[in-house]
Chain A
């Protein structure tokens, strides 16, 4: 029974990791940037939601309705942040070398953390979502309602992003830029704008996930790195440029981490995840679903 419970816990939180990683994969595939500041978008989304609720209620305690209403705020704020980061900073290093883009996004990560510490202090915070009953009992398994909401929310964000990419004119433009940016410019797409929108969407989904993280875990200005690392593992694991791969990878990573934490120790979660990644890369270098490093994102 413990095993099943850990798996359920893992899937519930894994959906959040997946949503974050889908955003990370999107920028990697379309803009060709490994965004080391991606985890900071999760952090900022968490604070956007936290402060929205605190402003409305006077305290970080929310009804489920208010908690959910704070998510679009985080999504919108982070869209703007991501758009601006691409337009004013990252666009200047696109197409230079990989090292430079890593350095710039790493620098952004450090800067945003420091600004976060100034603005929010290092104290961990959490949003407390109030239910009459905090948990459901499903066939003997404990399912906290807030985690269920986060799970459904994360899946909804991921599906919304899919739908956006498939159905909208901007989504088509994003796919076009990712497949051949010169051809995209040729047919009249404003490539710079589309890259910035992509960065905005990527940050928005990370921010939305961050709002849910604030409800089920703690947020703290330096929490970002761990999400960047997780995204990295998931995206490489699922196959670079593969969004379904990121989704499966996220659920898998959540499960592996919960099982490790449950049966070994929570100290070992990241080490175990990276070990699995190394094993996979040795056995199947192109990831589970992908075409490998530098493969065409489609």
Chain B
């Protein structure tokens, strides 16, 4: 790639950057010329209608979708097309929109799988214990088969498992989907807590108002293109965004 001289936006300390990314699967292009910048320590929220390519955008960062053009950078380093192993080792983790537990394994075995990229098992075991202290409800379930968890418990496991690698950056794809309202608030509290501890978060959220209200920065994706960018409050108060995407 040629050297970049253009600065795209006003982020002081960019951690995660997508530059003119066109991506999809095989010969299907889903997102076009996407530019997204998330600053170190921020919460960024991506909203947009179903099928607009939000999940694909995250997958293109993580190496789950094919990046046809453009670059993805993390901490200034070009990480385009990098494997999930390398992303995890470099401190990036991802919670998928779809159920991603191993149903036949216990909660504890699932947690250990979250530390699969560690070379030694004892590190994974130690980290799992730390997380049980942090999430006592999960610790109580450690021997339970993941396939028999409720939706809320499963989400908690997925979130905790993604914390096994002590990520600096987390991508969360619709963490509140399908949850009862009381769990939704807990999930957002957790996200806020993690962020307070310094974790940078990229969030996709169906509940756009909820998502934008915790976000430092928001992006609106429609038909695979970024239509609006701004701070969370700017987007929440934007008339057009409100009319088109917030149902207001």
Contacts and interface: CB of A to CB of B under 8 A. Distances in A.
A173 B112 CA distance: 11
A32 interface: no
Contact of A187 (B83, B103, B116, B121): B116
B72 interface: no
B230 to A, nearest CB: 31
A94 B89 CA distance: 28
* A interface majority secondary structure: helix
Contacts of B101: 180, 183
B88 interface: yes
A35 B154 CA distance: 34
Given A172-B113, A186-B84, A179 B104 contact: yes
Contact of B102 (A169, A176, A188, A190): A176
Candidate in B98, B113, B161 with the most chain A CB atoms within 10 angstroms: B113
B85 A190 contact: yes
Contacts of A189: 116
Nearest to B121: A169
B96 interface: yes
Range class of the A interface residue count: 10 to 19
A174 to B, nearest CB: 11
Most chain B Cβ neighbours within 10 Å, of A172, A186, A296: A186
B90 to A, nearest CB: 11
Interface string B209-226: 000000000000000000
A180 B116 contact: no
Interface in A237-270: none
A179 B84 contact: no
A185 B64 contact: yes
B100 interface: yes
Contacts of B94: 186
B113 A187 contact: yes
A188 B100 contact: no
19 contacts: A172-B113, A173-B116, A175-B102, A175-B105, A176-B116, A179-B103, A179-B104, A179-B105, A182-B96, A183-B96, A184-B102, A186-B94, A186-B100, A187-B84, A188-B84, A188-B85, A189-B116, A296-B104, A298-B104
Interface of A: 169, 172-173, 175-176, 179-180, 182-190, 296, 298
Closest 6 CB pairs of A and B: A298-B104, A183-B100, A188-B117, A188-B85, A179-B102, A188-B88
